[in-house]
Structure 1
């Protein structure tokens, strides 16, 4: 049977109706706007301390913003492989976020949008190794049943996979991302994967680049590179299905 078809106009309408997730940090959103959307996979790459995890936490909060205020009013699932998740930090960010958006004509009050509400709608899973991560993704459809998850974060995807034999890394990674893509399409959520940097050597010269090379690069819809420079953070889109290369300076 021939696969179902859609017009470009129908796809465009779907993208508009599905919406996208913002951080509600004006400078950062100048490059993130339209990038993190349902059915897409976004990679956040950078060194430790470059702002990847903090941005992920912020997005787990902002995805819950009520639809009447321009949000997706969804839940978030945070899959941690590196112990970077901090409930105290999430609560602090939640408090700041709620305070900042009390100016929306009191609309948030109608859904009791507060710190406790936000924390209750961020689901957390700790995985110890690659086997647990594979099992987690394989059973994700069952877990999501009955929930309204609009964002799934894996922080980080590179931490457990780097421990595998180099001969099977590419296969495991491609299967994980294929399954994530199918689930994201079925359940209408966005995916963010954080990735660490590694040093490679080419023609006698070393350079720093995101882990897993081109095989990973071609599997994601967007790649955002994070770095810290003195007291501020820097983010740059180096790949996007939708937009040209852009960069921004932001603070956490």
Structure 2
């Protein structure tokens, strides 16, 4: 999240006095400003001796945020955008790739939702290994529950060859060096990392990023949604919009995992609620169908494919 102080050079009204006023209301970053009640903030400003300057600063902040919105696009522009650089990345699971007509689409946010042990993390690890092996660029892996397994990725890469084979070892070293894993345990660190990634991609710092995996996103967001307050909900939507912007602007394939929670009549449903449903472009439901690593995957939502299509698969 960008601290307010970095804006002062381009926006003089966002000076130390304005930032001190914001800090007194728990606002230290642009992100904090986005999720704050602006009517309430303006009401507090009116009680201050420097109310005119503070209200001008608030207006300048709003103007900056509004300027970041994307312009309107007509249908032809949207069609051209969907046809340019929106390829697919193979997951390494043939049946999943067939179901998705090629794999995970670049420029889209794909959500894997399912109960524990349904195969979400295994698909993430398999996709990370396969994308790093087959395509140029980096895979960013945000691990929120200590589920990342370098050993499991090495197993994917060495099958069915002898793990002691020299060429296999070279492949493992090359692939592992192109997977960048970060451990993230709270929503604020995630937002910081997403902003940092956005800035790096805009500045072309580092090599090309092809895929971003967050396993699991729901474990970061679910704890802040309790209590019925709007703050957690706003943080969730902000994270979602950032992921969509990263995917769209930089042609990334973004993959997030989401767990299941108990719903009405004991029927399980995806966590994060109804508001989250509009965020991912693609939602895939996973479930176990036997005890020997067998899973089932179904399309819940897809911009190009019919919902309800299903296939069975095993991650090997």
Q: TM-score, normalised by structure 2?
A: 0.67
Q: Tell me how far 1:41 sits from its aligned partner.
A: 0.4
Q: 1:159 aligns with which of 201, 219, 233?
A: 219
Contact kept? 1:35, 1:242, Cα under 8 Å: no
Once residues 314 and 195 of structure 2 are traced to their aligned partners in structure 1, the CA distance between those partners, rounded to angstroms, is: 36
Q: 1:115 aligns with which of 161, 172, 180?
A: 172
Q: Tell me how far 1:137 sits from its aligned partner.
A: 1.4
Once residues 103 and 153 of structure 2 are traced to their aligned partners in structure 1, the CA distance between those partners, rounded to angstroms, is: 23
**Structure 2 residue ranges without an equivalent (≥5):** 1-69, 162-166
RMSD across aligned C-alpha pairs, in angstroms?
A: 2.3
**Structure 1 residue ranges without an equivalent (≥5):** 67-71, 100-108
Distance verdict in 2 for CA 1:241–1:116, change over 3 Å: same
- Once the two structures are superposed, what CA deviation does each residue of 1:223-243 show, in whole Å capped at 9, x if it has no partner? 001111212111111111110
Distance verdict in 2 for CA 1:189–1:165, change over 3 Å: closer
Between Structure 1 and Structure 2, the one with more helix by share is 2
- 1:18 maps to 86
2:238 maps to 1:175: yes
2:187 maps to 1:125: no
SS at match of 2:88: coil
Once residues 247 and 89 of structure 1 are traced to their aligned partners in structure 2, the CA distance between those partners, rounded to angstroms, is: 26
2:249 maps to 1:186: yes
Aligned residues: 230
Q: Tell me how far 1:160 sits from its aligned partner.
A: 1.6
Pairing of 1:216-235 with structure 2 (within 5 A): 216-230=276-290, 231=292, 232-235=294-297
Query: RCO higher in 1 or 2 (8 Å CA, sep ≥ 6)?
Result: 1
2:214 maps to 1:146: no
